[in-house]
Amino acid sequence: MQLNPNTIKMLRQKHNWTQQLLADACDVSLRTIQRVEKEGAASKETTMSLCSVFEVRQGELIKLDNAETAVKADHKKVQKLYLIIILSSLISFGLGMSSVLLFVK
């Protein structure tokens, strides 16, 4: 199962636990915790142990990847919106100036 490594590490640090303490609490090896925090790869059993120890639902260990992706997507949408606003403002200004120049002549 693919977990968010940042979430696991953040939850561990929130509890002020070392990787070894978390491994002991989950009844897994230190290497397993290191792999989860580095790659996010975990078996179902390890995932359930982490959920139990951290007292969170399984979705919480996966959720932040989707949230980060959504935030990045929203940021790109905002950038595109700003670009559209700037371009439409420039076009409006150009049309306004050209109409003024036509009436001045």
- Residues 50-72: tens digit of each pLDDT: 999 999 999 889 865 555 555 66
pTM exceeding 0.85: no
Greater confidence, 47 or 67? 47
What is the average pLDDT across 36-58?
94
| Res. 3 pLDDT band, cuts 50 70 90 | very high
| CA 37 centroid distance within chain | 16
Provide the total of helices (H) and of strands (E) in the chain, helices listed first: 5, 0
Mean pLDDT of the residues in the chain = 88
Q: List domains and CATH numbers for the chain.
A: 5-104 (1.10.260.40)
